[in-house]
Structure 1
Amino acid sequence: MNTSFTVTGLPTGIIRPHDPFTDRIIAAATAACRGFAEGDILILAETSVATAEGNVVRLDSVTPSPRAQQLAEKYHMDPRTVEVVLAESDSVVGGIPGFLLCMKHGTLLPNAGVDASNAPPGCIVPLPKDPDASAVRIRDEIAHRCHVRIGVIVADSRTHAMRLGCSGVAIGCAGITSVIDDRGRSDLFGRKLEVTKRAVADNIASAAELVMGEADECTPAAIVRGLGMPIGDQVGVDTIDADECLFMGVFRKSQT
């Protein structure tokens, strides 16, 4: 990869359910940096993708179950939000006031990714139903209309163990490899690396977060240009099983 690259935010205005999302992204890219170029990587905020796809839940349409009411009382949450979180979760492993810690598709995350930030009034937004499919669809639409090959990352903001604040994490990916295996390369002193793998999609998502923001910026997308990553047909974010995860392994042992 190149050592010099640019990150350009793409202001789109407010994204509403069933908006022509790719049209808005292409228009924003044209205004911000004269459109897409071969090898660009497009990063999209998951809330904007889910909203454009219509994956928005009106809280007044939700009837909390007894379990949702019980968890809401325990963790000081809106029972309707808890009901949606339960529907989005594979399991709930615990929580703190305001948040449930959930397993979803092999990933540990707060509230199963259900977000009230940047959601329409009276609504909450779950994660896109299939972030990889969303990334593929938008990649293909841009390739067809703009005649360039790009990578697409659907990104979320996540907290990390024992760290304050959020950083970007790739939850959907198309066109680039999400993890680069550096095992076998030498360090500064000639020792062979044995375990190092670079989460490049996560790192790119974090770089994009710096210009996309988390509040009222109306910048749900960014273009990273000049990295020189090969663009191909790769789809998906590489993950590991819970049994291989340091944090989950320690957590599970502490529960036994």
Structure 2
Amino acid sequence: MKTGMVMSLYPIRTKILEAGDDLTSIIIKEINEQNLTLEDGDIIIIASKAVARIEGRMVRLNDVKPSKEAYKIAKETQLEPEFVELVIKESQIVYGGVYRALLTLKNNILQANAGIDSSNVPKGYAILLPKNSTKSAHKIRNQIYQKTGHKVGIIIADSRTHPLRLGNTGFALGVAGIKPVVDERGKKDLYGNTLKITRRAVADNLACAAEILMGEGNEQIPVVIIKGAPVETTEEYIDELQMIISRNQCMYFGTLFK
């Protein structure tokens, strides 16, 4: 980041979103009502659960029939068998679990409970991840351009934990309009040493910054606008694979899951 550069974040409150809502129009309306203006290069961070809600991704747990495996895992982790069954169905792999959490591989990402959540939904329900966060990010970006004429960046963000670290941080599920990762390999540090493995997760870092304002409870802030972010914009289609490291190169996966 250049000296003197300022990055500003603005929380955007919305109504409680429902299936079928026009999320783009709601975002633009709330931005205008909160006396903000969109500009080229702004980044809009959107909570994944906001996208999932308008897609109708809430599931009533009473409609889920648990398997024997789900009952077994539920007993070990003190999760509801119906919830566990959803996790099993939504996961590529379930590695195991601890109290109230299962370590899963979902969309080639290690996540708790395959990203399924039972918070900020009515009692007796759970909410899944969006169907395709990448497509959603590009769709919303295109709609905003059509409605406002501004080229912005979009990040569909969720939260996750990190190995042996307490608490959740934000990360990007889907990105449009910005380069999500900056490759620093080959650059020099302060002492002239060549960086060998460093790549900066720009989209994840921005999601983390927005997470501070979004919160995890009843804040009702599913959107954050970031202005002045030092990012590289792009018109290319950003696929989620551009943010994923291969298993054999991943320090955690390559070491612990051989």
Q: Deviations over 1:50-91 (max 9, x none)?
A: 011111111121111111111111211100001111110011
Alignment of 1:83-162 (within 5 A): 83-162=85-164
Partner SS, residue 16 of structure 2: coil
How far apart are the structure 2 equivalents of 1:13 and 1:112?
A: 26
Alignment of 1:249 onto 2:254 = yes
Instruction: Report if the CA contact (8 A) 1:15-1:48 is conserved.
Output: yes
Q: Deviations over 1:178-227 (max 9, x none)?
A: 10011121111111111111000000000111111111111001011112
How far apart are the structure 1 equivalents of 2:177 and 2:101?
A: 34
Q: Deviations over 1:141-178 (max 9, x none)?
A: 10100110001000011110111111110011111111
The amino acid of 1:204's aligned partner reads: L
Q: Which runs of 4+ in 1 moved over 4 A?
A: none
Report the equivalent of 1:27: 29
Report the equivalent of 1:63: 65
Instruction: Report if the CA contact (8 A) 1:149-1:231 is conserved.
Output: no
The amino acid of 1:240's aligned partner reads: I
Report the equivalent of 2:203: 201
Instruction: Report if the CA contact (8 A) 1:10-1:223 is conserved.
Output: yes
Instruction: Report if the CA contact (8 A) 1:47-1:119 is conserved.
Output: no
Report the equivalent of 1:231: 233
The amino acid of 1:188's aligned partner reads: L
2:245 pairs, out of 229, 240, 248, with 240
Instruction: Report if the CA contact (8 A) 2:101-2:112 is conserved.
Output: yes
| Structure 1 unmatched runs, 5+ | none
Change (3 A) 1:188 1:33: farther
Alignment of 1:82 onto 2:84 = yes
How far apart are the structure 2 equivalents of 1:105 and 1:58?
A: 23
Task: State the TM-score, normalized to the length of structure 1.
Answer: 0.95
How far apart are the structure 1 equivalents of 2:74 and 2:254?
A: 28
Instruction: Report if the CA contact (8 A) 1:6-1:226 is conserved.
Output: yes
Q: Deviations over 1:4-29 (max 9, x none)?
A: 11000110021122222111111121
Question: By how many angstroms is 1:37 displaced?
Answer: 1.1
Question: By how many angstroms is 1:229 displaced?
Answer: 2.5
Instruction: Report if the CA contact (8 A) 1:26-1:35 is conserved.
Output: no
Partner SS, residue 244 of structure 1: coil
Report the equivalent of 1:183: 185
More displaced 10-residue stretch of structure 1: 237-246 or 3-12: 237-246
What is the CA RMSD across the aligned residues, in angstroms? 1.3
Question: By how many angstroms is 1:33 displaced?
Answer: 4.4
2:49 pairs, out of 47, 50, 56, with 47
Alignment of 1:212 onto 2:214 = yes
How far apart are the structure 1 equivalents of 2:156 and 2:35?
A: 20
Instruction: Report if the CA contact (8 A) 1:106-1:242 is conserved.
Output: no
Change (3 A) 1:50 1:147: same
The amino acid of 2:245's aligned partner reads: I
Percent identity reads: 40
How far apart are the structure 1 equivalents of 2:39 and 2:115?
A: 32
Q: Give the paired residue count.
A: 253
Instruction: Report if the CA contact (8 A) 1:8-1:32 is conserved.
Output: no
